[in-house]
Structure 1
Amino acid sequence: MAWKAEAVVFLAVAFPAAGALAALQPATGIPEEVVQLTQFGPAAGVLVAALVWPERIRGRLAGLGTGARATRADTAWAGPGRAGWWLLLTALLVIVTAAGAYALLDGDARLTDPRSLAHPFTLIVLAQLVGACGEEIGWRCFLQPLLRTRFGPLAASALVGLLWGGWHVQVFARRPGYTAGFLLATVAMSVVLGLALEGVRANRLLLAGGFHTLVNLGMLLTMDEEGGTVAPMLLFGGACLLAAVPWVLRARGTHGRWHHDHPLPAAPDRIPAARHGAR
């Protein structure tokens, strides 16, 4: 099937490209605190897929296969015009919950003054946004719409989250509790992103990249999970899970059934010129 071929090509490039970029980073002199080159592995996967299926991948990136627009009742929560605000607020909620729980557990609020970082914070923010978009163009702008042509929104989002977590292969060298917390976080965040962006075509990359950037910056300034400590990662995963609950509850229809629980039509091989812009 065409969708399987697209997914295989994307993943077959994204995984090794991330490893190659990680090996290349020391030679570039770019500090990992500023941006990790591995983040551009998914972008490389999209690029190769686009060289093979240019029209079809253009349809994915244009947002075809992301679900119908929300109904008038839905817009009071997170319709296409408001999804971004709720999504960014969710990112802040994740960080506040995780950092607050960690401070209570550890007895120390591990807050880092942005001015104490080795590089200008403005540079870090901009580089983090670029790096996050390098990931999200693959996960949320390509793979999520692709899987939505075969699965419902929750299943597609959870599957993307598992693949996203597995793509961070280095976490599997950590303690089991750390790995479990990380995978819980990636699946829960993917569910938030998938459900929040369901039906949204305009600015999908900026919305997903903004959420991703806020979470990364929050972890940089409030947590110390990078050293492999299990507790902050488990708390982070738990915070992500809690943040996903309202999005899942909102997505449920009457009698426990999902809105848009059916797969969506695949992007056509050719896209009429009138449909190139975002709705």
Structure 2
Amino acid sequence: MTAGKVAWKAEAGVFLAVAFLAAGALGAAQPATGIPTVVIQLTQFGPALGVAAVALLWPSRIRRRLSGALPARRAVDPAGSTARRHARGAGLLLSAVLIIALGAGAYAWVEGVLRVTDPGTLGSPFALIVAAQLVGACGEEIGWRCLLQPLLRTRFGPFTSSVAIGLLWGAWHVQVFGQDPAYAGGFLLATVAMSVVLGLGLERAGANRLLLAGGFHTLVNLGMLLFMDDGSGSAPAADADLSMVLFGLAALVTAVPWVIRELTADILPIADGAR
């Protein structure tokens, strides 16, 4: 095994170990803090602590990862222009809105009712919730999309690395697997599909990587809070299962155009290989 293979596996292993363990510890400590989970979940900072651990061990590499440096492409990337990068970023954020719209709309079509939570009933000022959700989302995404994605991209293509991170991201939400299988399956489908959207959408995002990933994540979290009864726990189990399955399918549908774009653009080879 070459030193390069050992190095990237060590980085990934340290990040994942700290991200999982720290999230568990932070989740256990949250009740003692009195911070409502509807405002922010402290577990979200587990990946950020994983990044800090990697930074302590490999300070030179962490700068390269967080800068969004990726392997060279086989062809010149026209998406590298400022206008195209902005369009790509806007498309990424609109994809988050589309996921919620499709998921909530499908639920309303099946059940005949659109579930909407009044922000005034959440127990905290909505502006505070929005700001805290953005901070928490960035606490996650600095790990998943700003460190692990560029790291895996040194060895794999954008599609495989995105799917792998989606599976890890879903598994990191260990509490979800205490729910019904339909709920857990829908959630895992959603994390994989959203990871593909993020992974493909953030190619060459550079310094804007964290804000775009955090913005996407925040919009999804707020949409789930307002239109999926996520956070109150008052929805019947069957309704929650259906809502999550439809959410996962909505994320999958939204990911398809991103994958097709990469398959047909002849810019990013979807076939993976070592870089």
RMSD of equivalent CA atoms? 2.1
| Contact in 1 for aligned 2:186/2:247 (Cα 8 Å) | yes
Alignment size in residue pairs: 262
Cα separation, partners in 2 of 1:75 and 1:9, compared to 1, 3 Å: closer
For residues 244 and 145 of structure 1, the distance between their equivalents in structure 2, rounded to whole angstroms, comes to: 20
Q: Helix, strand or coil for the counterpart of 1:112?
A: coil
Aligned counterpart for 2:269 among listed residues 259, 262, 265? 259
**Structure-2-length-normalised TM-score:** 0.90
Amino acid at match of 1:23: A
Per-residue Cα deviation, 1:22-66 (whole angstroms, up to 9, x for no partner): 011011111000000000000000000100000101110011126
Aligned twin of 1:172: 177
For residues 215 and 166 of structure 2, the distance between their equivalents in structure 1, rounded to whole angstroms, comes to: 17
Aligned twin of 1:71: 77
Aligned twin of 1:198: 203
Aligned counterpart for 1:234 among listed residues 238, 242, 245? 245
Q: Helix, strand or coil for the counterpart of 2:207?
A: coil
Alignment of 1:51-70 (within 5 A): 51-65=56-70
For residues 83 and 101 of structure 1, the distance between their equivalents in structure 2, rounded to whole angstroms, comes to: 26
**Structure-1-length-normalised TM-score:** 0.88
Structure 1: stretches of 5+ with no match in the other structure: 266-279
Amino acid at match of 2:98: L
For residues 26 and 147 of structure 2, the distance between their equivalents in structure 1, rounded to whole angstroms, comes to: 21
For residues 242 and 162 of structure 1, the distance between their equivalents in structure 2, rounded to whole angstroms, comes to: 18
Q: CA deviation at 1:82?
A: 1.9
Aligned twin of 1:244: 255
Q: CA deviation at 1:262?
A: 5.0
Aligned counterpart for 1:36 among listed residues 17, 20, 41? 41
Per-residue Cα deviation, 1:258-278 (whole angstroms, up to 9, x for no partner): 53745575xxxxxxxxxxxxx
| Contact in 1 for aligned 2:160/2:272 (Cα 8 Å) | no
For residues 70 and 110 of structure 1, the distance between their equivalents in structure 2, rounded to whole angstroms, comes to: 46
Per-residue Cα deviation, 1:79-132 (whole angstroms, up to 9, x for no partner): 323221001110000001000111111221111122232111000000000000
- Structure 1: 4+ residue segments shifted above 4 A: 66-70, 260-265
Structure 2: stretches of 5+ with no match in the other structure: 1-5
Q: In percent, how many aligned pairs have the same letter?
A: 62
